[in-house]
Structure 1
Amino acid sequence: MTHRTDARRADLLAAALAAAGRGWHVHPLRPGGKAPALHGEHACPRSGPCAGGHVKWEQRATTDPDRIRAAWTTGPYNVGIATGPSGLIVIDLDVHKDEKDKGSSDAPCGATSFSALCERAGQPWPTTYTVRTPSGGMHLYFSVRPGIELHNSARTLAPYVDTRAWGGNVVAAGSITPQGVYEAVNRYPVAELPAWLMRELQRPAPTPVAMAPLVVPGAATRRATVALDRETAAVRGTGEGGRNNRLLEGARALGRFVAWGEIARDVVEEAFQAAGEAAGLAPGECRATIRSALDWSIRTCRPRDAA
């Protein structure tokens, strides 16, 4: 093993211990990546911690220094933070693809969307612990009081603004990908989630307007089936860095067929869940993204006759 690998492993171990020292539950991510390094349900050996049944990464994440040292001394794992068990909600301000690829400052991004959201609410940009991602995005960390259970969301607050809570995971400061380093740029104490943001996140989605089905219950039209096959194949074929966005776009594209009664929602959800996990996304992240995308698409799609 080279000195460079030893040094990187030591730095990542230090990052994991530092996060755990803040009370955040950590788990190893693949070296140089963002996906959990712990085995998934399909590869579960049903032994050790999983002797009584598969235990997911969210439940295995820990603050125990001994367990952390035992894991991170075996390899240069990036550091994941299980946001739910850590009492955190992290607001993920993404960067538009054009900005990532071309360095354009004119393209919309999560930071400008979130700034506009603050402006509309008459509130300042919150001061809290902040991590800059290698793509130029930001993670804003907030604490949530015990007993309040929030879940992931995908662009329901604003364009290019996602949240990570129960079922979610963020890459901790100090982790390294081929694009660069996750860096803590504001080391302020983690602020409690502002009440106005809590209200936005707990706002119920409008009830979709029921539309007359085009086909008999349980069946699906050919065009809906073709669209589902095409979109799920695209999700499975998307590499790291664009998987969640592709999953969001694909599920949104199918939402209109669900609203029009051309395909059952559970069929769409199951197909995209399998495609997202096959692409390497965490199960909880897939569920939250699919649910958010379908809710939005069903709520906003035009009537079938006007499409």
Structure 2
Amino acid sequence: MSNRTTRSAWLRAIESAHQAAQHGLHVFPIGSAKLPAIRSPHRDDPPGTPPCRGTCGRLGHGVHDATTDPKRIDEQFDAAPHACGYGIACGRGYEPLLGVDLDRKNGVDGVVSLAALAEQHGFTVPETTIIATPSGGEHRWFIGPAGAPVRNSASKLGPGVDVRGYGGFLVGPGSWTPKGIYRFVDRRPAAELPDALLALMLPPPPVRRPPVYLPGPRRGAALVGLVKFVLEAPEGELNTRLYWSACRAYETGVDADSISRALVDAAVSLGHPEHAAERTVSSARNAPMRTSA
């Protein structure tokens, strides 16, 4: 790629990254191979050094450096003069972005696979943001419940259906690669991830013992303890604690409405949006429970 082309791609990437950040998306620069454009500052660390996820303050942690801060975005792109695209971190915030990457190559059609998955499991794939990839595939954006442990996967749900979950990233529209540019096909707002599709993305639940139904007074005390556990959540762990507490609470046999209201109220009192809290608690309530043999 010529210097002129490199400069043009860099300018397009930083402009597009800023536009994405203005919509609340966390971004960072990537190169033509769709990898982080800034080398890791820990590449020469001795073997056995604990991994750093950006706490050192230096640049070069990839998705862990993703930000909405305009000054930080400029700082990262200034340190990456050969960047020609940007990544969008998945799983950030109270209404986290999750991506479904649908490949269309080598005889595989992820769009067809997703439609078949929807028919098999009885859900409708909602209209949502769609990004065309240079290889002919699609990225579809969805909003998932905060705190749900959706991980990255490749063809796990079906041929050509990849998931970009927590800790992963999507290549942002406007990014350049040797095969072409990522472009918007549909700019409508990202839709909520269907519950049935979310259930397929979640890891299998651990094998649980049969629920222990506590006597009245102890039952109430157990719920109080779980609410307190939510209220004492450190920064960044509120949704994880909310989901875990809801799972534990439903095992006690306490009235479901009481559980939902108490835990949602606790989360909302700490600034959690009520709708997002209700979705997180509902996900825990609908999680399948296994009994040991």
Could you say which residue in structure 2 is the equivalent of 1:176?
Answer: 176
Distance in 2 separating the partners of 1:40 and 1:51 = 11
Aligned AA (1:83): C
Pair 108,184 (structure 1): closer, same or farther in 2 beyond 3 Å: same
Instruction: Output one character per residue of 1:172-230: Cα deviation in whole Å (capped at 9) or x when no partner.
Output: 000010100101101010111111111111262899xxxxxxxxxxxxxxxxxxxxxxx
Task: Give the CA deviation at 1:132.
Answer: 0.8
- Aligned-pair CA distance for 1:62: 0.7
Q: Is 1:92 aligned to 2:93, yes or no?
A: no
Contact 2:150 2:203 in 1 (8 A): no
Contact 2:125 2:194 in 1 (8 A): no
Alignment match, 1:75: 81
Structure 1 position 82, deviation (Å): 1.4
Distance 1:206 1:186 in 2: 38
How much has 1:2 moved relative to structure 2? Answer: 5.3
- 1:260-299 → structure 2 map (5 Å cutoff): none
* Contact persistence 1:27–1:80 (CA under 8 A): yes
Give the residue type in structure 1 aligned to 2:13: L
Listed one character per residue, the Cα deviations across residues 27-72 of structure 1 (whole Å, up to 9, x for unaligned) are 1112x2201123237526799x664899732321111011112222
Q: From the CA coordinates, give the structure whose radius of gyration is larger.
A: 2
- In structure 1, the partner of 2:243 is none
Hey, what's the Cα distance between the residues in 2 that align with 1:205 and 1:120?
A: 21
Contact 1:130 1:140 in 2 (8 A): yes
Identity %: 36
What SS does structure 1 have at the residue aligned with 2:156? strand
State the Cα distance separating 1:8 from its structure 2 match. Answer: 2.7
The answer (yes or no) to whether the contact 1:155–1:161 under 8 Å persists in 2 is yes
Within-5 A mapping of 1:19-30: 19-30=20-31
User: 1:114-166 deviations in whole A, cap 9, x for unaligned?
Assistant: 11112223333321111110000111111122232311122221111110111
Greater shift after overlay, 175-184 or 81-90? 81-90
Corresponding residue pairs, total: 196
Report what 2:66 is aligned to: 61
Give me the CA root mean square deviation: 2.9
Between 1:66-75 and 1:176-185, the stretch displaced more is 66-75
Structure 1: segments with no counterpart, 5+ residues: 98-106, 208-307
TM-score, normalization by structure 2: 0.59
Kept after mapping to 2: 8 A contact 1:134/1:181: yes
Q: Which consecutive unaligned segments of at least 5 residues does structure 2 have?
A: 208-293
What secondary structure sits across from 2:11 in the alignment?
Answer: helix
User: Equivalent residue for 1:35?
Assistant: 35
1:58 match: secondary structure: helix
Equivalent-residue separation in structure 1 for 2:162 and 2:176 (angstroms)? 21
Q: Secondary structure at the match of 1:162?
A: strand
d(CA) in 1 for partners of 2:57, 2:89:
22
